Amino acid sequence: MLFEYHGQAPSNPYFKEGKEWNSTSSNTNTYILTSKEFDPKQFDEKLVEFVEKHYSKEETETERFVTQPLSSIHFDEEYGAYSRTIPKEFLYALAAIALFLVLTACINFINLATAQAANRAKEIGVRKAIGAQSSQLIVQFMLEIALITFVSIIASLAIAEIMFILLEDILGYRLILDLLNDLPSIGFLTVLFLVVSFTSGFYPSILLSKMNAILALKSKITTKTNSGGLSLRKGLIVFQFALSQFLIIGTLIVDAQMEFFSKKKLGFETQAVINSGLPDQDDTKRERFREIMLQSPHISGITFAISQPTGNSNSFSNINYAPLDSKNSYHANFKFCDEYYMDFFDLELIAGQKIHKIDSFPTEILINRKLADLMGFKDNYQAVIGEKLVTGVGGDKKVIGVVENFHTQSLEDDIDYTVLIYLPSVFYSFSIKISSLDQIKSGISHFEESWEKVYPEHVLDYEFYDQELKERYETEQSITSLMRIFSLISILIGCLGLYGLISFIAINRTKEIGVRKVLGASVLSILGIFSKEILTLTVIAFVIASPLAFYVMNEWLSGYTYHIDIGYEFFALSFIMTLVIALVTISHRSITTAMLNPAKTLKDE
């Protein structure tokens, strides 16, 4: 089980010599190795007593500590133990899509197999004439389909190995398929083999085995007389295309949301900024490093802080303002930074003065506009200067300035109440700014040389800030890439199903088309017959998929404080794409049927 307590060393005055329990830091986690007899519920009850002991009466109504299993921290977003989590619902959604794709593949096989039933009519007639039983034919057809399924699984394993290489960039790690040492995978493939073989083979086997031997030998068997009509087939095609349109709409919306993330202004400068971790909090080394770095004309600035404005390290503490007279517990994101931080990131000062260097424990702070508004100074920010704010970081602090709002978390969350404060003991990172983009190479070279002079015993690791910000949306980027892949697979499978349906229609309407041509119908008018069928199915699929896609994607977007609006263009584009793909798919089979010689199609043996 995992119990999280966030904080710094007890000796740090930031935590009042270990007596302060009102602050949290994303840098610190506590893990507890438990025995099999450990009872999480009983332990959580003890933690309630712990809170009652260390918190005020008002705070006990909102503050709590709980245990969390180590196995759930990557799926549970409530506690924010890690900066990136994957909701289990997303994994279930991927599994559901995969299941739907397997089902549609089985449906397509049924459609294609029954559409080609007439081609095996004479074979079936001969076998029945020499005494073959229906059960023997069923076994033969089922074995044929089982063999096809087995070969397909072998081929899929080879394709999977290739896909694992391609998916490494999307997932962030390499998947490995080791069947010899992976019994669950062997079991899964065995079940998949049996289910797919039975699902896709049972109906065609029954259909073919029940053919009338005399009619089969005369080639008078048609799929129409043995398949139960077109309604079921059309329903299955509608289902496939509804799934395809759902995935296309979802992909378009996720793409648009990611584009919105990349273009939205965050309230601070990110271009040509490089971030790195600070090895220690030695003031002398830090200032020497700053001095050496700024000797180069390729470096225009350097700042030290707990983290960047939108960084992976965040420190939250309780705050209060007496005139609010509120029982609510407010928390602010404390950005510990040096006196160059605001100018470096181009943070806008609305009122008062900027952060400045002090030698004692800080008693002065800057607050963001959102916090000033909470305190009751909206549109009168100069008046908040000099006010006292109660904090969990070393007691009361005097407000000396107000800074414009900027994002401290991802765009999934609202802007925090934010406090800027000078406190070198918690400077864990630094940022440098290259003078211009064309001097990146020279700037990095000087950066590496300066590091070797001051911190030779430590390995240098750095990252460009704009790239780091993009990585904060790694989950969304993975969702986008996976949805593109699933959409493509769904479209391909849907096209196969559509081709099977058109083949089925063409076989049953061959003589009708021959009669139409004799009566003067053109090829284009005959193509219109097939196109009308497909247009109708596409519209029905669109009507089914659109509201479902709107609901699901609207729920997904609602998880982000800042998001796009779902407009009609996503649905229109999806419909047009699906319709074009469908028409291209049926064109070959339709044209071939329309071009047949009526003399051959109307001939009766």
Residue 352 has pLDDT above 70, yes or no: yes
b/e 451-470 (16+ beta carbons within 10 angstroms → b):
beebbeeeeeebebbeebbe
Domain ranges of the chain: 2-72, 280-457
Please state, in angstroms and rounded to a whole number, the distance separating the CA atoms of residues 550 and 557: 10
Q: Dump pLDDT digits (tens) for 422-433.
A: 888 888 888 888
- Of the pLDDT bands very low, low, confident and very high (cuts 50, 70, 90), residue 122 is low
Residue 283 burial by Cβ neighbours in a 10 Å radius (0-12, 13-18, 19+):
exposed
Distance CA 286, CA 23 (A): 26
Separation in Å, CA 6 to CA 21, 47, 516: 9, 15, 80
If pLDDT is split at 50, 70 and 90, which confidence band does 145 have?
confident
With bands split at pLDDT 50, 70 and 90, how would you rate the model's confidence at 42?
confident
pLDDT of 35 above 70: yes
Instruction: Work out the percent of the chain whose per-residue pLDDT is above 70.
Output: 70
When pLDDT is cut at 50, 70 and 90, the band that residue 463 belongs to is confident
Query: What mean pLDDT comes out for the span 360-370?
Result: 85
Residue 392 has a pLDDT of: 76
Residue 4 has pLDDT above 50, yes or no: no
Residue of higher predicted confidence among 560 and 120: 560
Residue for token digits 């008062």? 352
pLDDT in tens, 534-575: 788 888 888 998 999 898 888 878 777 777 888 888 898 888
Structure tokens at 469: 């910000």
Tokens coding 437: 């983009």
For residue 419, report the phi and psi dihedrals to the nearest 5 degrees. Answer: -125, 130
- Give residue 247's Cα distance to chain centre: 13
pLDDT above 50 (res 189): yes
Residue 268: pLDDT band with limits 50, 70, 90: low
pLDDT for 58 = 62
Q: Which of 101-110, 191-200, 540-549 has the lowest mean pLDDT?
A: 101-110
**pLDDT category of residue 1 using cuts at 50, 70 and 90:** very low
The two tokens of residue 59 are 């705070």
Assessment of whether the complete model's pTM goes beyond 0.85: no
Of 127-141, 360-374, 389-403, 590-604, give the lowest mean pLDDT range. Answer: 590-604
* Residue 532: exposure state from Cβ atoms within 10 A (0-12, 13-18, ≥19): exposed
pLDDT (0 to 100) of residue 148: 86
The whole-angstrom separation of Cα 370 and Cα 378 is 9
